[in-house]
Amino acid sequence: MIGGGPAGLLLSHMLHLGGVDSIVVERQTKAHVLSRIRAGVLEEGTVRLLRDVGLGDRMDREGKPHDGTVIAWQDRAPFLIDTHKHTGRKMMAYGQTAITQDLYAAYERRGGELVEGAADVRLHDVTSDSPFVTFTRDGIAHRIDCDVVAGCDGFHGVSRQSIPADVLRTFERAYPFGWLGIMSETPPLDDIIYAQHERGFALASQRSPMLSRYYVQCPIGTDLADWPDDRFWAELKARFPKPLADRIATGPSIEKSIAPLRSFVAEPMRYGRLFLAGDAAHIVPPTGAKGLNLAVSDVFYLQRALVAHFKAGDDRWLDSYSETALRRVWGAERLSWWLTRLLHVFPEQDGFDTRVNQNEFDHLCASPTAQAALAEQYIGLPLET
């Protein structure tokens, strides 16, 4: 596995349960990986998988189940994407950092082999039966001979870049804004709430009973230095209906960052003995909370395929991995794009666009069929078996 984030660590953990050995190669240190602040809303299928592979105890203690997510639309009554009502399933708020901590703990308990601080990682002969990986660590060159390489090293990693340009097809949409986010040690709101407002999108999320995560839409090129805490809190509250804004507990930020928004898909997700998973293959805008959940579904499909290959000589799932994973990827891409378009204010947006979005939201509020369709997609379609 190239990459020691949640995708690489989860794949290694699940392969171990299936009796397949693996090595994880990560260019950063464990401390750096755990310092990254990422998503925290899990689909029901992700929750069930984590429980099935022995990683659910802390999640069940500290995570917060949700019936869905609220959309607070300016000048309209709040609307709940009610996944529990329409699908019988719940979401779970549980931070990606906590999941990564759980994965590291499980990895260390079983004595898994993890290489930290690997520089100049390169993939070789991935279309042959004997691929290998080279890297340097502390100035010393290393080589790992393997049967398969799983590229779990994110959007900027070496894995996808190792696929020739005449083989790889990429599809991308960059959005003309980002999310300015802060973390604060304050009690979060009871619900995860998307706020649509003429000033721009905002989001209230949560990581634990005393850890809140908030975002506001901001222009590309925004400078964090221009956003002291007081300005952020004032802008956040301005974008929420007053009854909700009055319930937001403010406090000093413990983390502040700006995330650009991008939709991106690379096809195929397999090249010879190289298999892409997670952000190495696809990026979704965080509207819809699909990024981590897509990485988990990739890992599910890839682990199943590799165990069948190594333990039973059965390659049918290995051969169909890319096609199967991409069906779910494009479903999540479409939903995330739709929610981003609906809830954000685009620079070129005019009165016509605004009225169309308002009508689309009104239709959603009035149509049980539209509500059920959105809830089914938002909770995550079942994994293909």
Q: What is the set of active-site residues?
A: 66, 194, 286, 290, 378
What 3-state DSSP class applies to 49?
Answer: helix
Angle at 370 between CA 368 and CA 375, to 5 degrees: 90
Sequence-distant (≥ 6) Cβ neighbours of residue 325 within 8 angstroms: 269, 277, 281, 297, 298, 301, 302
Sequence-distant (≥ 6) Cβ neighbours of residue 265 within 8 angstroms: 170, 171, 172, 281, 282, 326, 329, 330, 333
Sequence-distant (≥ 6) Cβ neighbours of residue 168 within 8 angstroms: 160, 266, 267, 268, 271
Nearest to 203 by CA among 68, 195, 220: 195
Angle 368-379/351-366 helices, nearest 10 degrees? 90
